[in-house]
């Protein structure tokens, strides 16, 4: 009898875990849909409408909310939306407002009202950044310690699929439909997220900060009073830096080698997406199996060495087999590293204010890529393409060396997460 009860309990636990992990796919999809609608897809629409290149360039500013989303994250930790709770309530609300804002954006005419479409795009970006904050917090709160690798990978896969749909998919639709109908179709995709959020398992509720002041101060206080907090923050900033540095110029590099835009687009969009899905799936599975520290070390080394494919392409010159191998390996290894890295960032967040801490950590993770990454062109000019990609491999070393000193803290955090579930 006891054996049967134990078996039933194990089956129930496995079913609950699969549900918590599986729900990350549609949530990732809903998070990925709006991004390109204010980015490259919007640029294509503006170009079709013969908007000036100077005006199109200014539209890059609508992406500012993604950079500063940590500024309003404390509000989402402090306050709740009725019915679905603090996390799911805010997710559904942001998704509904995104549905309205994307549709509103589709009603605009860039030929006669560039300012109106800019305001609509800014609203979509703000709401999209808000959705990202709360979905990240929900994932952090809902997933158990031994599910974070798979959950992170599942979320990233959903996100990447959505980017294909709202990027290449939207462009294909625009060849047959008006841009208004294309944006209406993209708005309708937010219903996927709303339905998924409604049925998503509720995370264990943690007491929110008692007031807004504490919602701002306590996340910082809780994080920076930990032993090794600055070390962990530095690691977060460095772990993906080499990859970010390389990605700044990869398109320029491939076009300089005289690959056509069609060649690069097809290989990156289709082979790249498939390779990323494979990498994330493998990375998420093994991060949960071998432990987070080993996953960060092994996959971090892999994502650094992956840039050797571009180095080889710089040496050989234009070669389709080397191009395919370089992009395939790069995306697989990037997927491996991303799955482990997202799981690590989640492990650093306290559930009472995971929205604020996660937003701050991801902003920090992007900081070096956006600042020092601006010098990538000067590095390439001084060293050539082969030297540049050699540098992107070398700059990954500090994070890997730091990991050697972080094993005890990472293992202890994993143990605490397992015991708290």
- Tens digits of per-residue pLDDT, 365-391? 888 877 777 788 888 889 999 999 999
Distance CA 75, CA 216 (A): 8
Res. 398: pLDDT tops 70: yes
Would you call 302 helix, strand, or coil by DSSP? Answer: helix
- Tens digits of per-residue pLDDT, 34-64? 999 998 888 888 888 888 877 887 888 888 8
Res. 288: pLDDT tops 80: yes
The predicted pLDDT at position 365 comes to 87
The predicted pLDDT at position 282 comes to 94
Distance CA 264, CA 254 (A): 7
Res. 145: pLDDT tops 90: no
Q: Which domains does the chain have, with CATH numbers?
A: 19-205 (1.20.1250.20), 210-421 (1.20.1250.20)
- Tens digits of per-residue pLDDT, 22-32? 999 999 999 99
What pTM value is reported for the model? 0.85
Distance CA 33, CA 162 (A): 5
Q: Buried b vs exposed e over 234-257: b needs ≥16 C-beta within 10 Å?
A: ebbbbbbbbbbbbbbbbeebbeeb
- Tens digits of per-residue pLDDT, 233-270? 999 999 999 888 888 788 788 888 888 877 777 787 77
Q: Please report which residue ranges of 165-291 form alpha helices under DSSP H.
A: 170-174, 179-188, 190-199, 212-224, 229-238, 241-247, 250-256, 261-266, 272-290
| Mean pLDDT value of segment 358-371 | 86
Q: Which residue has the higher pLDDT, 212 or 99?
A: 99
Distance CA 379, CA 382 (A): 5
Q: Please report which residue ranges of 38-72 form alpha helices under DSSP H.
A: 40-48, 53-58, 64-67
Res. 415: pLDDT tops 80: no
| Mean pLDDT value of segment 295-314 | 94
Distance CA 107, CA 45 (A): 13
Chain CA centroid to CA 156, Å: 6
- Tens digits of per-residue pLDDT, 56-97? 878 888 888 988 899 999 999 999 988 888 899 999 999 999
């Amino acid at each position: 009898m006891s054996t049967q009860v134990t078996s039933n309990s194990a089956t129930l636990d496995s079913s609950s875990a699969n549900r918590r992990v599986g729900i990350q796919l549609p949530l990732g999809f809903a998070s990925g849909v709006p991004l390109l609608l204010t980015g490259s897809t919007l640029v294509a629409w503006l170009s079709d409408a013969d908007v000036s290149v100077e005006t199109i360039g200014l539209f890059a500013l609508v992406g500012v909310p993604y950079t500063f989303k940590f500024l309003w994250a404390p509000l989402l930790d402090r306050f709740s939306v009725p019915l679905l709770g603090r996390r799911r309530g805010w997710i559904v609300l942001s998704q509904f407002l995104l549905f309205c804002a994307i549709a509103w954006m589709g009603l605009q005419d860039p030929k006669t009202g560039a300012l109106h479409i800019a305001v609509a795009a800014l609203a979509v970006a703000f709401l999209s950044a808000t959705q990202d904050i709360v979905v990240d917090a929900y994932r952090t709160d809902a997933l158990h310690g031994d599910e974070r690798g798979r959950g992170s990978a599942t979320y990233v896969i959903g996100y990447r699929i959505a980017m294909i749909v709202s990027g290449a998919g939207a462009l294909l639709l625009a060849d047959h439909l008006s841009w208004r109908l294309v944006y209406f179709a993209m708005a309708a995709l937010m219903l996927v997220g709303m339905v998924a959020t409604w049925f998503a398992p509720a995370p264990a509720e943690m007491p929110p900060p008692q007031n807004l002041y504490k919602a701002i101060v306590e996340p910082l206080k809780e994080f920076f009073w930990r032993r090794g907090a600055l070390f962990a923050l530095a690691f977060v900033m460095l772990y993906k830096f080499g990859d970010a540095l390389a990605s700044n110029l990869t398109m320029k590099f491939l076009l300089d080698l005289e690959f056509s835009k069609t060649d690069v687009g097809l290989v990156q969009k289709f082979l790249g997406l498939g390779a990323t899905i494979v990498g994330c799936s493998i990375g998420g599975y093994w991060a949960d199996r071998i432990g987070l520290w080993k996953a960060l070390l092994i996959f971090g080394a892999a994502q650094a060495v992956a840039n050797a494919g571009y180095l080889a392409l710089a040496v050989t010159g234009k070669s389709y087999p080397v191009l395919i191998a370089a992009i395939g390996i790069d995306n697989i290894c990037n997927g491996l590293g991303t799955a482990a890295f997202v799981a690590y960032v989640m492990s650093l967040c306290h559930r009472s204010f995971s929205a604020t801490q996660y937003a701050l950590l991801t902003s920090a993770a992007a900081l070096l890529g956006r600042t020092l990454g601006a010098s990538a062109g000067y590095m390439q000019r001084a060293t050539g393409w082969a030297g540049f990609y050699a540098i992107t491999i070398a700059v990954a070393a500090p994070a890997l060396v730091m990991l050697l000193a972080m094993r005890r803290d990472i293992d202890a955090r994993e143990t605490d997460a397992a015991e708290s579930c």
